[in-house]
Chain A
Amino acid sequence: MSVLAIPRLHFPSTLVLGATLLALIVTAAIVGIWVTPYDPTVFAVRFRLQAPSLLHPFGTDEFGRDVLSRILAGAHLSLATGFGAMAISLVVGVPLGLIAAFHRGAVQEVIMRAVDLLIALPPVLLGLLVLAVTPPGLFKTIAAVGLVYVPILVRLTRAVALGLLEEDFVQAARARGEGALPILWHEILPNAWPPIIVECGLRVTFAILLGSALSFLGLGPQPPASEWGLMIAEGRDFLTQAPWVCLAPGLSLCVLLVSVNLVGEGLRERLDPHLRGRAHA
């Protein structure tokens, strides 16, 4: 239900704007892995907690490390959490959803009860539970966040697939005597992906949010990594003296989240057949 008079372009303006911003962030993140103005981990205690200046555009932190360099060096961590978690939940959730749709009976029952259970855990708690008992690290955070979104994707995929299974073209394939796998692969999946992509696009924002919240709690990448949530947590002790140590990664995170959110909304406008009644193959 768009109120802004968006011209009927092929790509919605939200998608274009979001994708442009996101491309810039991704580029900065990739470059930032190797090249930063200063070394993001080397201490320079003489220059600790310096206010933003021409030399240090975002100031320095309590160990004299350049905040801008740390933000650049840590950008890929938030991106990896968001998109990695989404990839995990796609790879696990979509096949399970398809199986649950195709095999009614015991298999479906087991999958759907497990889903009910996982969905009944508040998201942060599921992450906390996984990270509580094992030493935290980037890949565990990604896995924990991914696990949170698996049940949602299972439910969605199953619902979409159940609808498609009733369609004539699937019945025709069955009548031709095709097996389960070819039907799922050639008939169901190609038609099921738009709503799945839309859901993922909207969920990436929450996955990044959740990942950074877990890092903020100390359950993500460990120091000296410069994950943005972790940077905010570390800078909290100096908030009054040196607000830039928190504000710079915080604002970066906001820009990233808004651009991902824009892409998600744009994908929805582009692919969701319920919106604007646009006929789409």
Chain B
Amino acid sequence: MPIAVFLLQRLAGLVGVLLGMSLLIFGIIHILPGNVAYAILGEFATPAAVAQLEVKLGLKDPLPLQYWHWLDAMLHGNFGQSIVMNRPAAALIGEALGRSALLAGFAFALVAMGGIALGLYAATHRGQASDKVLTLAQFVLIAVPEFFWAIVGVLFFASWLNLLPATGYAPMSEGIGSWAAHLVLPVMVLSFGLVAHVSRLTRSSMIEVLDSRYVLAARARGFAEQRVLWRHALPNALLPAITVLAIDAGLLIGGIVVVETVFAYPGLGRLLVFAIERHDLPLLQVGMMVVTAIYAVANFIAEVLYAVLNPRIRVGGAAA
């Protein structure tokens, strides 16, 4: 199958998933009980006031029509209004998204580099004490929740050592030192478990490759060990790591919600939790849509990358 057809097919899949997602998010928010008008006016609102607001917000329209209005508005760049903060949702989400992207970008880079490096180190030192220590550490790290690392980090670096701020965010305009200091703990906490995850899978895929016949053949031909490792083994061992990194992008998004809440970091995750706590449903549904779209695009990129690097996938296996 030519790469263009493959790309188009995946792109169509991406659009389908996004449409389905919008339907799902809209459906869950609107079918489950919990009235927006009551949420705005408070539980002691008079029925007349509630009815009036419902008409104003279009809540009396049939659901399919409401869905269409929402989708149509989003496609025209109108993301609606946060009812609690009384500001356009697009502006709120835009600001928060930038700060979350900062956090996620640093964490993802750390996970990709740290995870792969540690995995390769463990695979090439298989059976030695350092490998066993790493295996044990990974085993524990994978099982420890982010919010536990967060409180340990705050206790150690903020309360005892007084090195880093415990919570919050400082814009770059307040000085780069303060900006960076506020990012260190959230990025570390976000990365820990995922580094373990990636390194563990990199290790097992590298070991599988190192035990393969073509690596044996390369060694038999007398290539230098460095060359065998970097040119023959590594490219193939990294293929599974790409898939894992894409899965981890999803875990990272989940982690961000928790980490931003713990560190009171004003990002998208914090905004979503805020929208849930305050029943700001218009903000919530757009925020959810943005996050799932990012995740869907991340998966799309991973699939394309994987196909480009591994031609076997393009032939046949695409429509799993």
Contacts of A218 in B (CB 8 A): 277
Interface status of A239 (Cβ within 8 A of chain B): yes
What's the least CB distance linking B207 to chain A, in Å?
6
Task: Name which of B79-87, B183-191, B257-265 contacts chain A.
Answer: B257-265
Task: Name which of B57-65, B91-99, B289-297 contacts chain A.
Answer: B289-297
Contacts of B159 in A (CB 8 A): 239-240, 243
What's the least CB distance linking B18 to chain A, in Å?
9
What's the least CB distance linking B39 to chain A, in Å?
10
Give Cα distance in the complex from A262 to B143, angstroms.
10
Give Cα distance in the complex from A229 to B261, angstroms.
13
What's the least CB distance linking A84 to chain B, in Å?
18
- Do A239 and B154 touch across chains, with their CB atoms under 8 A apart? yes
A258 and B147 in contact, given A3-B127, A117-B17 (Cβ under 8 angstroms): no
Classify the interface of chain B: helix, strand, loop or mixed.
helix
- A3's nearest neighbour on chain B, judged by CB, is B127
Interface status of A129 (Cβ within 8 A of chain B): yes
Contacts of B258 in A (CB 8 A): 124, 213, 216-217
- Do B139 and A258 touch across chains, with their CB atoms under 8 A apart? yes
Interface status of B25 (Cβ within 8 A of chain A): yes
Interface digits, B137-167 against A, CB 8 Å rule (1 contact, 0 not)?
A: 0011011111110011011000100000000
Interface status of B231 (Cβ within 8 A of chain A): no
- Do A232 and B151 touch across chains, with their CB atoms under 8 A apart? yes
Chain B interface size, as a band, is 35 or more
Classify the interface of chain A: helix, strand, loop or mixed.
helix
Interface digits, B17-32 against A, CB 8 Å rule (1 contact, 0 not)?
A: 1001100110011001
Interface residues of B in 81-132 (CB under 8 A from A): 126-127, 131-132
Interface status of B33 (Cβ within 8 A of chain A): yes
- A256's nearest neighbour on chain B, judged by CB, is B143
- Residue of B17, B151, B204 contacting most chain A CB atoms (<10 Å): B151
Contacts of B135 in A (CB 8 A): 3
- Do A216 and B155 touch across chains, with their CB atoms under 8 A apart? no
- Do B276 and A239 touch across chains, with their CB atoms under 8 A apart? no
